Structure 1
């Protein structure tokens, strides 16, 4: 079905692109569509990062404060990317958007385990836990998307993306402590219009996008958009003889606009997107010494079983994963938005339902050996939201007041099983651990006999059943008081209630199908098996009220110079551990770990927004600091038999830094931009954090014992580590994006237009790829360069060639610590050089 739809769409859009010719889609055209999403009568020109309006002095119109206004008038750090620049740079999802917005961080080992952070804050880095909230809200046409997996899907007919930095709780439905990504799609129009775009490239890349809009009657208009992306994978699996990390996305969005009077707009929208990629895997990167016995580390264990990775060079892009990979992902829903203009204000109601279905299969041992035979946690989510708000604008006062309700239900059914190599890799052989490297390790002790007996763990399986009921309700409001034409004071408040009810059950069965219980007879075999999977059943709950507020003062020093300062007291709701909790010495769940406290955020920010040289130049600067108490950290432990990830509260975290945005357009023939950020995001106090692999794997210290040195086999390992002062994962201290585009008049095949050349680059310094920084998981900094060159006509045809990662930079998106503290480090290489061609038309 995917293939048929994709082929039909591809053929249709090729014909449409070739046949249709209209004015080229410059930024002012695209952004005007964005504005129509909120006001069909507002035709104010706009611009966006990297493109710029053709006319100097045109404003970037945004809806960050739930009303149409110039971004230079908003006392808030905000990046705006227009639809044209999204297309031109190949930023067809949030993940690719990070290359042109330096303070946005995106990490994804698969759609479920995806993190979208701003300034290093948002969600804990690592495996996803459904029991906590996002710190970065993703909104599409006013509808909150609670699952960050939505960030991995293709943008559908997007007009504009606004990235708001800092706490957003007094203007938006769901409270978010780090920021929000506000996506506005093109809306139905009462003038017939459409667009079509086709791209082809190496790695069998094919992408087709099309949209059509127009009237059905004098009061009813419709819009339909569809998008398809496919690409061969960039990593070759020698075990299965196929490429992995492919792309296979298909999405459709339809909208109906009913305008019975000049003051009422009713928009009914529905969308559906699906992914069915051969994904998601990793490659061997390296090994590093841990405190495990040397003959129990990766090199010795691999040699004893005659195993070697397909390549020790990760950029050969070879893997040998032996578990079938699957990442089926479906997301969609429907919304009803009613806007009613009442005097000087607008009453808006947004009702929405969304669903998310996730069907995965992963290889969690990162090797071609049958250690972890299966790891999958399919889940299904239904989400319901209702937002009601009233916006009022006048000379002296602007305000927004609103109410928001949210309900979410997630059901998950997990299966994890061990393979025939698991005993050797996972059972601690005890007293014979000093055996020399390369030895079999199969000494006379009982524990060694267990480790060398494949049947002990082969077929051991755990079935996990869990659900989450998440309810939230809020009242919020923000007032802008224009004391003078230059001075504005802006207070905001939010009252919030959250309740989470969860359930987690793990049942364990041995290879013969017998259920393992904590009660009853014990044996050495049963003890070894329970050390891998422990039965557990808990029903965690959390509920709490929170009051938050913010205050902003802004002053117009000159018509094009705005100063502002903000203080915000915000929070992120408490959470529950939905993936189980640690156990005590008797394998009983430690119930004190079942819930995590709310984060308490104190945020400070000051900035200046300027335009000069007859508005040819825009320069914005902001400084910020966020202090977070009870930071919700994702705690990982590499030992087999210990939960791979659960939530805990770190004492204190701080993120502070400086951001600058610069753009210049001296004429319609040239524009350029440079955006940069310095981010210092660290744990200020985290004294009981999980230890990195080089300080793990040995016998855990007790009493007054002194831990051994890092990376020394057979050393004593600390029970936990103090990582206070160390950097948060995933955060580069410096990140930049920059680019330029130049054009000249040209005539090709009798068609008048302009030839253009564009460049977009990004640079980021190193970052940690483990929640507790490890010497083995620092990702080196890297730079990427993207070029495009083409021809567009005023009659409406645009064709260009593009190359991304033009200099074929080798870099990692993430590094992973292999389970069991064997010292294995796996990784996900970033895309190699890709190139292709795009043809598009608007009509």
Structure 2
């Protein structure tokens, strides 16, 4: 494994990091002080984080508030081997990678390599999945394959968003935030018991911010935020053995379209590269190319779920989780980021899912475990045009529109089990298995038109040139994935473990594939699998004032599903007038690494939190037209080195507590796509944050100031690569950037 100078220096310094990000526990006079114990449900039962033989990072709601975390992308600064970013051209679609496994393109027909759960409900699509942090109890990030404990198999890992249960007393709170770029947020929470057995509650959030830049063509804010969200729940406790929860949530994101920063001057129109990377000249929202969706850029996501827990006796608990979710997106994608329609794409995503999960949990003296059954019925559809206005007018006298409409349906069921047997008081064996049965059905249609848009996106006067794809097909994928783990309690405070687990993701169909030119796309693409070997040590020492975690893993990744797109010359005239989607089962990759986590109470008031990971991700085989091009490919969104150091100082002040937090994170260089491209790839960079939070006596109110990205670092999060040789004429290579320096003041009052 090759190490950068920064990585080598960090290893020499002996840096190690934490399995949980918490706030310090201040002791009473003359009493010993220690770190707060964190309870998680990573194995479907409540247990101490340090007793779980899985690589898990947990964040409590209190710790996230003290850091001023706004959404789940903030967690990637401190969680090892994790990348969480907004997908290109969006505010609320999530791109997630864990240990080199993820999905860059949020197309229909592709499930993410990282599974996101909201209160045990699997979110099948990434649209609307970039969750803002409010109304939570904790967030857990599990690294490595997760299939024997959860409803849906996950190749890379899982993120669990756990909301808080309602109190048996009336509670209400109001949180207001004001900050840079006219940020104005409000979060209102209210819950109350309406009888001894029924409680109701709800949260409303309005999250708003002006843009980091400006759209110089439309005069709109660019990189702004405008989100309204609500969550409500009813909890019923018929008796002490039964718990019923019915919950609903709704999110609407009406933020303006986001366009990338052009890397090169426009070839034909001559527009120069803009000085401010947050500005744009994108005009697609006001052009005829997006008239079919009225230039809208909007994501609506909503769902309802019901769960029942019945403690049959002291050993057995039965649980049912039923959920329905849907999301709808109209979005304006301006690939060229110019006032003209060199390459514009109005797009519609329409997704729905129904899931049912049943669990039997057993907890005896020596045997513990879960037996589950899961069913998923999901539909994912996309309709979009790629409008090549300038290409069409120059070469054919009329603009071109390449339409793609694709629907991929999934009907899946699975059985899973994971049991742990205590062979002795110190040695435990865990065995798990999962049987998966996935059926994918696809309905794909593609065609090229003369006109500013296709008939499917509002232009009834479009002239059909030719159909390029029209097929229906279905395939069924079956798999058994095992898991085995041994853990040994070296002493009361130290756990060592070793495990093997397999991740599986079914194959599917590319909704952009052109079967007329490439008949093989009708067969879809194959499943991918990952065999993960992991060993680790979790330790608590210094009388409970220090916790550390070390994990070492080796992953054998086969048939990686890599989506992409290519320009196509449909009439052999030397001009790419359309495009085709491609999915590569890329062959083989080996990903190995070391992860360290740790939290230390340096003094009663001062807490040190650190994290570090080293990853070596290497593609071993990538076949292209029979040739192995693996030496020209890389695992995307996977930096070799990541680290985090945070200091929190908490001390009594007046009648309350003053909390000072400062943290620094380093992320090594990444490639955005499987083929390195310096223009959009990101070199190593650092982010520094600081917060000051005062909490009054008995937590009645709090006031904080949070500064993010103090050094105003510019860093790329995504990009598009469409040079003139691929599609469009203006050299459309663009990049998207993370937030600049921001300062936010927050005030919260608990009534």
Gaps of 5+ in 1: 1-45, 288-297, 424-452, 516-525, 690-718
Per the alignment, residue 674 of structure 1 pairs with 610
Per the alignment, residue 831 of structure 1 pairs with 739
Specify which of 371, 391, 399 is matched with residue 422 of structure 1. Answer: 391
Per the alignment, residue 29 of structure 2 pairs with none
Per the alignment, residue 651 of structure 1 pairs with 587
Q: Which structure: larger Rg? A: 1
Check whether the contact 2:324–2:354 (CA below 8 A) recurs between aligned residues. yes
Per the alignment, residue 456 of structure 1 pairs with 396
Alignment of 1:65-144 (within 5 A): 65-107=43-85, 108-111=87-90, 114-123=94-103, 125=104, 127-144=105-122
What is the DSSP-based 3-state SS (H/G/I as helix, E as strand, rest coil) of the residue aligned with 1:150? coil
Per the alignment, residue 447 of structure 1 pairs with none
- Bigger share in strand: 2
Separation of aligned partners in 2, 1:277 and 1:512: 25
Separation of aligned partners in 1, 2:554 and 2:176: 43
Specify which of 468, 475, 480 is matched with residue 535 of structure 1. Answer: 468
Separation of aligned partners in 2, 1:741 and 1:280: 35
Check whether the contact 1:355–1:381 (CA below 8 A) recurs between aligned residues. yes
Q: Give the direction of change, closer, same or farther, for the CA distance of 1:580–1:770 in structure 2 (3 Å limit).
A: same
Asked if residue 664 in structure 1 is aligned to residue 600 in structure 2, the reply is yes
Q: CA RMSD in A?
A: 2.4
Asked if residue 319 in structure 1 is aligned to residue 280 in structure 2, the reply is yes
Per the alignment, residue 572 of structure 2 pairs with none
Q: CA deviation digits over 1:492-551, x for unaligned, max 9?
A: 011110001011112332239999xxxxxxxxxx9xx96xx8632122322121111110
1:604 positional shift = 0.3
What is the DSSP-based 3-state SS (H/G/I as helix, E as strand, rest coil) of the residue aligned with 1:539? strand
Check whether the contact 2:19–2:56 (CA below 8 A) recurs between aligned residues. no
1:568 positional shift = 1.2
Asked if residue 738 in structure 1 is aligned to residue 738 in structure 2, the reply is no
Structure 1 window deviating more from structure 2 (552-561 vs 806-815): it is 806-815
Q: TM-score, normalised by structure 1?
A: 0.79
Per the alignment, residue 481 of structure 1 pairs with 421
Per the alignment, residue 545 of structure 2 pairs with 616
Check whether the contact 1:455–1:511 (CA below 8 A) recurs between aligned residues. no
Per the alignment, residue 603 of structure 1 pairs with 532
Per the alignment, residue 259 of structure 1 pairs with 237
Separation of aligned partners in 1, 2:422 and 2:210: 56
What is the DSSP-based 3-state SS (H/G/I as helix, E as strand, rest coil) of the residue aligned with 2:127? helix
Asked if residue 729 in structure 1 is aligned to residue 636 in structure 2, the reply is yes
Q: CA deviation digits over 1:146-179, x for unaligned, max 9?
A: 1122332323411100000011100100011111
Per the alignment, residue 477 of structure 2 pairs with 544
Separation of aligned partners in 2, 1:464 and 1:134: 21
Q: Give the direction of change, closer, same or farther, for the CA distance of 1:641–1:678 in structure 2 (3 Å limit).
A: farther
How many residue pairs get aligned? The number is 698
1:211 positional shift = 1.2
1:250 positional shift = 0.9
Specify which of 389, 413, 416 is matched with residue 359 of structure 2. Answer: 389
Separation of aligned partners in 2, 1:50 and 1:739: 11
Q: CA deviation digits over 1:103-137, x for unaligned, max 9?
A: 211231134864211111022x3x32221222211
Check whether the contact 2:194–2:200 (CA below 8 A) recurs between aligned residues. yes
What is the DSSP-based 3-state SS (H/G/I as helix, E as strand, rest coil) of the residue aligned with 2:624? coil
1:642 positional shift = 5.3
What is the DSSP-based 3-state SS (H/G/I as helix, E as strand, rest coil) of the residue aligned with 1:489? strand
Check whether the contact 1:479–1:490 (CA below 8 A) recurs between aligned residues. yes
Q: Give the direction of change, closer, same or farther, for the CA distance of 1:489–1:638 in structure 2 (3 Å limit).
A: same
Separation of aligned partners in 2, 1:227 and 1:180: 25
1:592 positional shift = 4.3
Q: CA deviation digits over 1:425-462, x for unaligned, max 9?
A: xxxxxxxxxxxxxxxxxxxxxxxxxxxx6371633223
1:637 positional shift = 2.7
Check whether the contact 1:156–1:226 (CA below 8 A) recurs between aligned residues. no
Specify which of 311, 319, 338 is matched with residue 341 of structure 1. Answer: 311
Gaps of 5+ in 2: 1-17, 27-32, 286-294, 456-462, 569-575
Q: Give the direction of change, closer, same or farther, for the CA distance of 1:192–1:820 in structure 2 (3 Å limit).
A: same
1:761 positional shift = 1.9
Separation of aligned partners in 1, 2:276 and 2:624: 33
Separation of aligned partners in 1, 2:613 and 2:325: 34
Check whether the contact 2:142–2:157 (CA below 8 A) recurs between aligned residues. yes
Asked if residue 571 in structure 1 is aligned to residue 500 in structure 2, the reply is no
Check whether the contact 1:542–1:576 (CA below 8 A) recurs between aligned residues. no
Asked if residue 631 in structure 1 is aligned to residue 529 in structure 2, the reply is no
Check whether the contact 2:644–2:663 (CA below 8 A) recurs between aligned residues. yes
Specify which of 600, 621, 632 is matched with residue 685 of structure 1. Answer: 621
4+ runs deviating over 6 angstroms: 512-515
Q: TM-score, normalised by structure 2?
A: 0.88
Specify which of 364, 380, 395 is matched with residue 410 of structure 1. Answer: 380
What is the DSSP-based 3-state SS (H/G/I as helix, E as strand, rest coil) of the residue aligned with 2:129? helix
Q: Give the direction of change, closer, same or farther, for the CA distance of 1:771–1:70 in structure 2 (3 Å limit).
A: same
